[in-house]
Structure 1
Amino acid sequence: MSKELKTGIIALSIIALGIWGYNFLKRQDVFQSGARHFFVEYDNINGLSEASVVTINGLQVGKVDQITFNTDPEKKGTLLVRFSLENSFEFSKNSVAKIYPAGLMGGQNLAIIPDYTGSKALSGDFLKGEIKSDLFSAVGEKFNPIQSKLENVLVHVDSLVMGINQTLDKKARQSLNRSIIGFEGTVYNLNKTMRSVNQLLEDNKVKVNVTLDNTKKITEDVSKITEDLAKAELGKTIKKLEGTIDNVNGLLTGMKKGNGTLGKLVSDDKLYTNLTNATKEMEELLREMKLNPKRFVHFSLFGKKAKPYNEENNNNNVSNDK
């Protein structure tokens, strides 16, 4: 074998090894001829790179071959990702190619979310693309609305403070400071009063306990009295008392109307007048019997007659014998 032939063979071997090494670094196997190729369109690949791993249900089944800008004028600016699958696993065209974080250290991989409804996906078909946010992106997405709201709040607070400064002059601010100082003094005095009350309660703890015990005993006695009253059939007694009162009211009503002897005595003026006159005559008779007993009991042997009744003497309480 000539020297030139050996040199050519060595050169071709070096070139072949270089091509193989380059594709190996890109995770492309030049000896694999049965791989299937699929395409996905993204507005943003979020750091996905060529030679990134392609997985199905966590199993590595391929790699990203190429990432280029879409040449379609209507889709200008979108990115076209071409990836190959070395696995014969079958799925439909409705499956999703989702970009997801490879780990906390960075990097992105491509996961096929298989769907089995619809027609089978063949090499060269386009799949639907999605992006799964990583931890920091998710935190950023959640924090962005909060940040904007916080900025708006700070702006309003700044405007409020400026408005207060413009509204309150120096004297008003001094007055506000004095009010705050006075409020602080009030709080201090209130705390001092509360400490005094606590000390008073502590000093009179025994008396308070005795008072509470007495109150409890009184409450128990009242409860017992109430129970005794309930057992004493107070309702029946009240009903009887009501009946008695009704009878008295009826008696008083009859007396007022002049019914019965007592009613006639109370309401009949003539009977009252007669009774008054009889009482007066009885009084005069008793006085006459007292002053002139001889007119009623006479034992004279000589036939001397008693003096007749003298009304004037009787009224003056004087005997007729004088």
Structure 2
Amino acid sequence: MNNAQMSARVGLFFLLGLALIWVTFESLNGNVLDSDKSYELTARFASIKELKAGDEVRMAGVGIGMVKETRLNGRFAEALLQVKSEIEVPENSVATIAMAGLLGSNYVSLTLGSDDAPALSAGAVIRSEDTPDLNTVVSQIGEVGRKVEQALSQFTGAMGAGDSNEGLMGKINAMVDDNRSKLDTITSNLEIVTTRLRDGEGTLGKLLSDDTGYTELIAAIEEIRGAAEEAKTFMASAQGLVADVKSGQGTLGQLIYDGKAGEDIRLTAQNLRELSAKLNNGEGTLGRLINDDSLFIEAQNAVKKVNRAVDGMADQGPITAVGVAANSLF
């Protein structure tokens, strides 16, 4: 190898080294913001997880800054966010730590907030919420898996395993073995019943296979429906009658709600009581006729005298008959 080739190779490697140094420098300074072109916000979390300086700050998925520093502040972990000066972050925005992917790095995600909310000033503390990371999710999934496994173990133990007579399945098998003859009898009876139903025997079989029974059943239902309609009409009429009575219409309504008619009925009842009292006490002609026996006896005597007078007139002439009648009566 001559000196010219050696010099060319050395020069090429030197240029490649300079290019690599420039790319590395640009990569390391790509996330660096000038202090005069950005402002700082503080986000507090219970844990910043794998967040580190240089990670992105995004709002609605768009990069607006970077994480300048992570630190502990008492019972909190703080992330110092460096945001571009032209970006305004509303006061009601919320900061969370999100993952760029299952194997990607974390970044700080900011919500858009509302349009009418004022912007946060430099150095302010932004609202934040803690979200579960991949390790927490995996741990929770593992816990759920353990609980499912325990539940399945308990279920398997309750159902019984293998040929053991313990557990639910063992008890069911034992019960079936003890009642096998009864089960066979029940099965045979069910076969007989289904056969009769299929052949249209019995009341239920006729209902299932005979159209006449179905027609009669529908007719009976229609009659019941008609009776229900008539009952509904009767109830409506009864309600109308009750309404008329309540409004004082008709004789019954006037008797119930008309004060004058009620007073007349009361006076009539009082008069009847007084009349019956007089009759019981023998007052008046009718009372004496009812209670005095002498009037009845006198009436009987008068009737007897009339009978004797009639008998005497039958045997005498006209003039003599008058005299006989006078003598009989007086």
TM-score (norm 1): 0.49
Higher helix share: 2
TM-score, normalised by the number of residues in structure 2: 0.48
Q: Which has the higher contact order (CA 8 A, sep 6+)?
A: 1
**Is the radius of gyration larger for structure 1 or structure 2?**
1
